[in-house]
Chains A and B, each alone.
Chain A
Amino acid sequence: MAEAAAPILAVEGLSVSYATPYARLFALDDVSLAIPRGEVLGLVGESGSGKSTVVLAALGLLGEAASVSARRAEFDGRDLLADAAALRGRRIGVVFQDPAAALNPALSIGLQVAEPMLTHQRLPRTEAYARAAALLGELGIPRVAEIMQAYPHQLSGGMKQRAMIAAALAGEPELLLLDEPTTALDVTIEAQILDLLEGLRASRGLSMLLVSHNLGIVGRLCDRLTILYAGRTVETGPTAAVLAAPRHPYTRGLLGALPRPEARARRLLPIPGALPDLRSPDPGCNFRPRCPLAVAACAEPQAMLPAGPARRVRCHRHALVADLPLLLDPVAPSRPSAAAPLVDVEGLTRGFGGPTLLRRRRTRVHAVDGMSLTIHPGEIVGLVGESGCGKSTLARLILRLLPADGGRLAFDGRPVPERPDLAFRRRAQIVLQNPDGSLNPRRTVEAILRRPLAHFGLAQGAAAGREVARLLELVRLPEAYRSRYPHQLSGGEKQRVGIARALATRPDFLVCDEAVSALDVSVQAAVLNLLQDLRDTLGVAYLFISHDIGVIAHIADTIVVMYRGHAMERGPADAVLHAPHHPYTEALLSAGAARQMRLVDTAPSGAGCRFAGACPRKLGAICDIEPPPWREASAGHRILCHIPVEQLARPGLRPGPAGARRPQTP
């Protein structure tokens, strides 16, 4: 193919380093990649791999502190290192990770989209705005005239990202750089954005570089993958081949660590160890301290070796990688518990806001609206739902950290009062999402772990010291860590300390509120395994909260799906993960169903189903008017929907038109 011979972006031997006060930091070390015209290249790596540095280097936006060198860095034959300033925004467009941060809060959406046309094409104002409006419409934004005048804070996350993409396309680029474009978005929105990008690629003949840590999304969009580890490319090849049979131990490890609904009975295989120190790069293979295949010869510098058609891999033992196990043995199924429920929640409700002196018409928004839930001793209940569905509020209500407006809460058979006693606090603990924010940076690990022991009067002096040792052993941290401060720990280690702190009081019940969401996949797998082991050895019950149904599917015995403050579906994990599904669960589980969800930006007003506005399987007016019934799909598996179970059992996917599919406006 002639086009393949002249890639639109060709980078060879790109190296980037920063001068820091103590040592030089090598962010990228001899990175090569190429994007053939009209193709999508996925650049995959975990935090610290240098993938965002590649994007900024291509744009010439690394700043003065960075020293950049490359044997070749060309965009359509032009030298990128010299001409980046003339290319960015014109021929190269960018979409950054978090649209809430990347859109300017002080400027209207219309201006931010029209800006490149005003500056680069020197269009008159009215024409630039007309084109911006047309572009927003093309990207599926409803009520364009209104949105043009709106400011970022008035838009939902999905709409913001559409506006960002519109701004990136405004300069009519040939190459789109996408830096974690869906990471900050809900999975259903993510599916729609990926769909949109797929359509744009076809309709505009765009080439793309999709940077992501998520192997799931690159698989959907990319023709080829390049895997980055600690500043070096380790593997590159066609997407399907790389995902089906990875040739580098790291790629293999990433796949093994990824929790997936379809393999929920298997134990995850985490990658041991942590990212190497980028200040003193290993001249040999830098993955070798974490690699199960490492031998003495790995200390030699590694070249990218050919490994099959159009594939290259930086590993001299790549032939052996195929024999590595991808998943460990199946885990023992959890014992069904016949005991009385440990946590019994009925009709818990909590709202925010409401009429005030000056705003009499403001209505109270119900974050949690009549949630019921039971958790048995030793049971893991997974609560899944997207941002804003009220799952964190529910967690705080169950721990009585937030007063409820109404509903009943019983723990171990006794009602829990509004201000619970110390005994309840000891028995019910929480692990929070962000260990950086929840560990006091001025205290050592030992002080952090001794605090609950002292507060609940559980142990003192030498006994407390022994308890700290026991806790560190439980979460598999070395004894020497007791004198460390949080900033001396990696993300996964910090979260282990957070778990150890929650376990210090020997609780019966643990709320894990997005406890693994901030962690990289390879680390997340280890923490998930740890939590599973702790349940098996200590018999602790969990309420495990996550937006990621893959994680929930992996760990939970029972799953509750939550949408806008209310449960939509509940039941044993195996039942919930297989049809019949609630239409919302279906959207969470399948990108195909998610892309048929409608865009909604207003709360439902009537007494009908909360999901009616977005539902791809909406029956009609009945969904808006009448509250849906709970339907029993199988023993203990219940779905809140007007659609009969038999019909829900059939997939709701309508065959969609190929290419970009515009979401329907409400």
Chain B
Amino acid sequence: MGLYLARRLLAMLGVVWAMSVLIFGIIHILPGNVAYAILGEYATPQAVAILEDRLGLHDPLPLQYWHWFSALLHGDLGRSLVMDRPAGPLIFEALGHSAILAGSSFLLVAVFGILLGVHAATHRGTAVDRALTLMQLGFIAIPDFFWAILLILIFAAWLHWLPATGYAPLDGGDLLAWLSHLVLPVFVLSIGLIAHVSRLTRSSMLEALESRYVLAARAKGLPARLVLGRHALPNALLPTITILAIDAGLLIGGVVVVETVFAYPGLGRLLIFAIDHHDLPLLQAGMMVVTTIYALANLIADLGYALLDPRIRVGAHA
């Protein structure tokens, strides 16, 4: 178990480091002058010279990378060019907003994805199962921005029940306003993923239900509740955990579309802003944060495996 964890942790650190090289490298390997790319092609030579100086672009690439990476390790995420403020606080504030969005969506996805999946598997072939299947396929096939626009039209423009866009800070004390701004984006973010996770849980649950060990558990005369919860579910959840880990990463890094449509001030929108305004240091720092969160989510999934699967948790010999 300890060895397994050490290996997973080492692998995670390796991935994060490799991504840092990639994130740094892609921007610098692009043809053309980085300063011109930031300032635009009509920039004056003086402005370019000043920027190159500030970003240390005259240094050799490995040295530039080292400066950037060691600063990262010391917790210095660099400075946003456009806003002329440290990137760290900007990113973490946006990340906080995104985390609320992603976190509540993730909770919904995990709970409803697994519950609906298990329900469909145990009621295979019934009308409920068929209806769920149809809905799942629909939600997987139709992209989230379509739902976003449709829901804004219905609940904001037509019924006036919910605000169309924006964010209300909680420190104002207005819990209702805060919540009302979250409902639509959370719904849009989770619906497709719930469909996806429940599909997967259904099929792995069906496989577990048809296994010999579940037959053996039934033959022991165990009540259905134990057969399902103790014998089938732990085995059926293994593939679900993989998908949930990927989804957690997607939710943090992939909220761009939803945040844009709902004008929600999260990390996704901050990254779009950095791209639009050629704010390279902000973009790099933001991407590193997303990468690290993604890698952490996978590490947690590996932990989950170990908890559910004794073949990982304990070695091969008694």
**Chain A interface (Cβ within 8 Å of chain B)?**
59, 61, 85-90, 94, 96, 98, 101-108, 115-116, 119-120, 143, 146-147, 149-151, 153-155, 164, 167-168, 170-171, 358-359, 601-602
Contact = CB atoms under 8 A, between A and B. Distances in A.
Interface in B214-231: 215-223, 226, 230-231
Contacts of A154: 314-318
B76 interface: no
Nearest to A164: B216
Contacts of A359: 3
Contact of B215 (A96, A119, A153): A96
A89 B3 contact: no
B215 A102 contact: yes
Given A101-B213, A106-B309, A119-B226, A89 B220 contact: yes
29 contacts: A59-B219, A85-B221, A88-B218, A88-B219, A89-B219, A90-B221, A94-B219, A96-B212, A96-B215, A96-B219, A101-B213, A102-B213, A104-B235, A105-B235, A106-B310, A107-B231, A119-B222, A119-B226, A147-B318, A150-B318, A151-B310, A151-B314, A153-B310, A164-B216, A167-B216, A358-B6, A358-B7, A601-B317, A602-B317
A149 to B, nearest CB: 8
Interface string B286-318: 000000000000000000000011110011111
Contact of B216 (A90, A96, A149): A96
Nearest to B211: A101
Nearest to B311: A153
Contact of B309 (A105, A116, A119, A170): A105
B239 interface: no
Interface of B: 3, 6-7, 211-213, 215-223, 226, 230-231, 234-235, 308-311, 314-318
A153 B316 contact: yes
Contacts of A153: 310-311, 316
B310 A61 contact: no
Instruction: Pick from B219, B310, B317 the residue with the most CB of A within 10 Å.
Output: B219
B221 A89 contact: yes
B212 A102 contact: yes
A116 B220 contact: yes
Contacts of B234: 106-107
A486 to B, nearest CB: 24
A87 B211 CA distance: 22
A358 B308 CA distance: 24
Nearest to B315: A154
The 8 closest A-B pairs by CB, nearest first: A89-B221, A151-B310, A101-B212, A150-B318, A89-B220, A104-B213, A154-B318, A94-B219
B318 A119 contact: no
A86 B215 CA distance: 16
A272 B318 CA distance: 48
Instruction: Pick from A106, A120, A601, A602 the residue with the most CB of B within 10 Å.
Output: A106
Contacts of B316: 153-154
B220 A103 contact: no
A89 B222 contact: yes
Contacts of A358: 3, 6-7
A89 B310 CA distance: 26
A171 B235 contact: no
Contacts of A89: 219-222
B220 A88 contact: yes
Contacts of A107: 230-231, 234
Nearest to B125: A64
B218 A61 contact: yes
Given A115-B222, A116-B220, A602-B317, 4 more contacts: A89-B221, A96-B215, A105-B309, A170-B220
Given A104-B235, A146-B318, A154-B317, A98 B212 contact: yes
A120 B215 contact: no
A105 B309 CA distance: 7
A646 to B, nearest CB: 40
B309 A104 contact: no
A107 B218 CA distance: 15
Nearest to A85: B221
A185 to B, nearest CB: 15
A143 B220 CA distance: 25
A179 to B, nearest CB: 10
Contacts of B6: 358
Contact of A105 (B222, B223, B230, B311): B311
Contacts of A94: 216, 219-220
A153 B218 CA distance: 21
Contacts of B226: 115, 119
Instruction: Pick from B6, B211, B215 the residue with the most CB of A within 10 Å.
Output: B215
Contacts of A143: 318
B305 to A, nearest CB: 11
Instruction: Pick from B3, B7, B217, B220 the residue with the most CB of A within 10 Å.
Output: B220
Given A96-B212, A106-B235, A150-B318, A171 B220 contact: yes
Instruction: Pick from B221, B311, B316 the residue with the most CB of A within 10 Å.
Output: B221
A108 B217 CA distance: 14
A106 B317 contact: no
B310 A105 contact: yes
A171 B231 CA distance: 18
Contacts of A119: 220-223, 226
